[in-house]
Amino acid sequence: MHNTQPLYYYNSLQTSFSAVVTALRPCDDHWQLTLDNTAFYPEGGGQPADHGTLNGISVIDVQTQQGEIWHTVTSPIPVGTVVQGEVEWNRRLDLMQQHTGEHILSGLLHRMFSTENVGFHIGQEFVTMDINAPLTWQQLMQAEWAANNVVWQNVAVDCKIVPPQQLQTLQYRSKKAIEGDVRIVTIPNADCCACCGTHLPFTGMVGQIKILDAQRYKGGIRLTVVCGGRALTDYNIKRDQLAKIGAAVSMPHNRAADGVETLQQQLDQLKAQLATTRNLWFDALCATVSPDESPFVVADGLDGEAMRTLCLRLCQHTPRPCAVLCPKDGGGFAYAVGQTDGNLTELVRDMNTALHGKGGGKPFLCMGSLQAEIEQIKEFWNERKDDTTQ
Ligand SMILES: [Zn+2]
C-alpha cells in the first residue's frame, strides 16, 4: 500500500501541490501512477474524477482501486520523481457546484417531504438525482426555492470526520451503512450527510440550483438538475431559443408562447380552409369520371392521406381501377391505385417491377412510389389497367 494523503478532503480549493511518485504501471495506451499525496479527486459517489497535469503531463483519469489512488497519465513518470501537480480548476469548480448543489436540494427534499436520494450522477451536461417518492412539480419548485435561499445565505459548508460514538447522536443522510469513522458534510438549514466528495466551502459559490425536469422512475422520480455555471449556460441556450421563437412570431421573447399559440390557431384555421377547398377540388375531379372510365389523375401537393382519400372517392364513381399520381420531391411519383371490389395485387407488383417502384397494400387500395417519368407510368397504366380481377 502506498497510502496517498488525500489533500482534497481537507482543502477543496487547493489545485497546486507537490508530491513524490510512489508506483508506476502501464495501462492500455497510457500509464498509471500513485503519489504520496494528491489533490486529484478520484471518481466516486457520483462525482467524476479531476483532470489536470503532473509536471505538465496530462492526468486524464483518477480512480481508486483496492484502496489506492491511481492517476492515469499520458506519459510515464519514474518512481521517486518529485512532481508538481495542477488540478484543472474550471472542471473541479463545475463538479463541486453540481455536487454541493445536490446536497442542498437532496437535504431540503428530505427535510420538507421525507424523501431519500437513492441515485446521483454528474453527467457531461446535466446532473440526475433519483428520489424515492413521487413529488409534484409544485413540491419540487418549493424545494428548489428553499435550496436557492440557502445558496443566497452563503453559509459555510462543514466537512469533518466524526467517530462512531458521536455518530449515534447525529441525524444524517447516508446511502449505505458505514462502519468506523465517517466524514459528515453539514450545510446549515439544508443538509447533514455522510460523503467523501469535494464540496465548496460556502453555499454562495454554488451560484444557482435549477430543476429542469422530473420523470417517473422506479416508483419515485428522476430529476434533471443544473447548478452554477451549467444553470447560466442552460439559461443562455433557452434565452437564445426564445429570442428566435419570439422573432419568428413577432413577440417579445418573454411572451413567445402567446405568439406560438396565436400561430397555432391560424394554422388550425388554414388546415380547415385547405380541407374545404380540397373537398371541392375532389368533388370537381370526381364529377368528370364516368362509370366506364379508368381515371388517371396527376395532382400536385397531396400528402399520403389526401391521395388515399381522392383515390377511394374516385372508386365510388366507377367500378374500374383508379390511379392518383403525385410528383415527389427529388424525382419520381407517389401513387395510390384503387378499385372497389378489385384485386390489384398482381398489377401493383408488376408496376413496381417495371417502373422501379415499391409499395403495396390491400387488394382494393395500394400505395407506394415509382421512379419513372409520368409518360412511362401512363403507358403502363393504359396497357395493364384492365388486367385486374374483380
Ligand atoms: Zn458530498
**CA 239, CA 29: separation in Å to the nearest integer?**
43
Q: What is the CATH number of domain 289-387?
A: 3.10.310.40
| Confidence label for 173 from pLDDT (cuts 50, 70 and 90) | confident
pLDDT, residue 385, reads 82
Instruction: Grade residue 181 by pLDDT with cuts at 50, 70 and 90.
Output: confident
- The answer to whether 184 and 196 have CB atoms below 8 angstroms apart is no
Structure confidence at residue 196 (pLDDT): 87
List, for residues 187-226, the tens digit of each pLDDT value: 999 999 999 899 999 999 999 999 999 999 999 999 999 9
Set of cell numbers at residue 11: 482543502
Domain boundaries, the chain: 5-87, 93-236, 252-287, 289-387
Distance 142 CA to ligand 1 centre (A): 22
**Ligand 1 center–CA 350 separation, angstroms:** 69
Cβ distance 369 to 359 under 8 Å? yes
pLDDT score at 1: 60
Sheet with 220-227, strands from edge to edge, namely 117-122, 127-131, 220-227, 209-217
| CA pair distance 198, 208, nearest whole angstrom | 18
- In angstroms, what is the span from residue 103 Cα to ligand 1's centroid? 6
5-87, what's its fold? Elongation Factor Tu (Ef-tu); domain 3 (2.40.30)
34 strand-pairing partners: 23
Give me the pLDDT at residue 254, please. 86
Range picked from 166-180, 356-370, 373-387 for highest mean pLDDT: 356-370
DSSP letter assigned to residue 16:
E
Q: Which CATH number fits domain 93-236: 3.30.420.40, 3.90.1150.10, 3.40.50.2300, 3.30.980.10?
A: 3.30.980.10
Angle subtended at Cα 296 by Cα 290 and Cα 302, rounded to the nearest 5 degrees = 115
- In tens, the pLDDT along 144-170 reads 999 999 999 999 999 998 988 888 888
Ligand 1 centroid, distance to 192 Cα (angstroms)? 10
305-331 residue pLDDT tens: 999 999 999 999 999 999 999 999 999
Give 91-132 pLDDT, tens digit per residue: 999 999 999 999 999 999 999 999 999 999 999 999 999 999
| CA 33 – ligand 1 centroid, Å | 26
